Chain A
Amino acid sequence: MNYHWNWHIFLEPGPDGSGSYLGLLLSGLVVTIETALCAWIIALVLGSIVGVLRTLPSKTASWIGFAYVEFFRNMPLLVQLFLWFFVLPELLPPSWGLWMKQMSHAPFYTAAIGIGLFMSARVAEQLRAGIGSLPRGQMLAATALGLTTVQAYRYVLLPMAFRIIMPPLTSEFLNTIKNTSVAITIGLVELTGEARSMQEFSFQVFEAFTGATVLYLLINILVVTAMRLLERGLAVPGYITGK
């Protein structure tokens, strides 16, 4: 392979004059984490609401949940981001559209909300499966004790269901982090984007992507370890999730 390797490139000054190429990648990492955390909060909140809707006895509620999940699951994330970023401002009243287009950090907000909505459909599906895996007796017992539906979900079903779905939620969180890279198409310069600009400025293609790869691996290891600790800390003794 006649490729000229230069691993010192990471310490050489970057194109923005403020630091090294390594600093460039690390600032991308920060953007990736910020975007992913915002998106994850949106995904958890909306996903929980929609997931619960799908398990309610009401036909209308579960139909709304179903339509929501199908809407966000059946379009590529890239297309959804384009819809929020390019199409939505044109369809709103002109003054609103103008405000959206002139907003600073528009790619960041669009990415956080767009990825959050996309992931919320997946969280909803996981939560629905979690609630569905609980024995029917739990809801019946809660009702027999005189709990209202809200109380039954709040104190009986959801605490157990969330513990059960911790492992799949961990991988959905990892997916959220990975999906932030799709936002480079709307101009968000996160870790993959910074690796790309490092490649364009320094011509060291494979070093740049190796740097990004290592950083992604580190986040993955960190998240998996943290979630495993959280899982262990929250486990209910004597119940299946106690492993």
Chain B
Amino acid sequence: MFANFDFDVIRRSLGYLFFDGMTFTLMLTSLSAFGGLVFGTLIALMRLSSLRLLGRIAGLYVDLIRSLPLVLVIFWFYFLVPYIGQWVTGSSRPIHVGAFTSSLVTFIMFEAAYFSEIMRAGIQSISKGQPAAAQALGLTYSQTMRYVVLPQAFHNMLPVLLTQTIVLFQDTSLVYVVSIPDFLGAASKVAQRDGRLVEMYLFAAMVYFVISCIASFGVRRLQTRIAFVH
């Protein structure tokens, strides 16, 4: 069954696949994870704040995003980002936004909802005595969060955050639906140009599999180490 396989098509396109495609995928993954974590933490703080309205707004946002499929969210932002850009820059027409910026905004907004749930669980796992003690020492709210609560919440939730990042890494392949050339998009372009769907998709699947396997193995090791420290 491998008789009429053309392995050379993979070798010929390696440069394009990794330097263009995989770089895009990895950049998108890491920047979205970072942005999602920052916004997610802010959303979590909003949800846990004593201001009811703030908590309600954050809760609505998280519930809304979490009940939509990522593909629909990608379409939403793909068409919405030019208008957001127009609003931000105050120009008279919707501005042109590059593929990378558009997908970065999408994934940050989407992942923020998921990361916020993780950070909320992390913050709630810290015993009440800690912020109380920080307050007794005279720390302000932001100091309490910055120096006492958030570092511990982040540390406890690190394995979950990293697992979510692996999911994110796999989910970035969905930018395919708006024809943005990430790793899978690049593989698909070569596949369709050369009529080599079987080779390219098998290779892409293998690359995703190997990277995700190694990453989740690393997370599992980290988890046992963190569990041991406690």
Interface residues of A (CB under 8 A from B): 1-3, 70-71, 73-80, 82-83, 86-87, 90-91, 174, 177-182, 184-185, 192, 195-196, 199, 205-206, 209, 212-213, 216-217, 220
Contact = CB atoms under 8 A, between A and B. Distances in A.
A202 B31 CA distance: 35
Contacts of A90: 197-198
Contacts, number: 108
Interface stretch (B75-83, B122-130, B132-140): B75-83
A216 B197 contact: no
B67 interface: yes
Given A178-B70, A217-B64, A76 B208 contact: yes
Contact of A192 (B69, B173, B198, B208): B69
B212 A75 contact: yes
B69 A178 contact: yes
A1 B83 contact: yes
A79 B184 contact: yes
Contact of A74 (B68, B70, B71, B208): B208
Given A70-B213, A174-B67, A216-B68, 13 more contacts: A2-B93, A76-B174, A79-B208, A181-B71, A182-B174, A192-B71, A192-B75, A199-B75, A206-B79, A212-B72, A213-B76, A217-B68, A220-B67
Interface of B: 1, 64, 67-72, 75-76, 79-80, 83, 86-87, 92-94, 170-171, 173-174, 176-177, 184, 188, 197-198, 201-202, 204-205, 208-209, 212-213, 216
* B interface majority secondary structure: helix
A79 B204 contact: yes
Given A87-B197, A182-B174, A78 B184 contact: yes
B68 A178 contact: yes
Contacts of A76: 170-171, 173-174, 184, 208
Contact of A83 (B68, B201, B216): B201
* A interface majority secondary structure: helix
Nearest to B210: A74
A87 B198 contact: yes
23 contacts: A2-B93, A2-B94, A74-B170, A74-B212, A74-B216, A76-B173, A76-B208, A80-B205, A82-B188, A83-B201, A86-B197, A87-B201, A90-B198, A177-B69, A178-B68, A181-B69, A184-B177, A192-B71, A199-B79, A209-B72, A209-B75, A216-B69, A217-B68
A200 B62 CA distance: 29
A191 to B, nearest CB: 8
A195 B80 CA distance: 15
A82 B213 CA distance: 20
B176 A74 contact: no
A148 B216 CA distance: 36
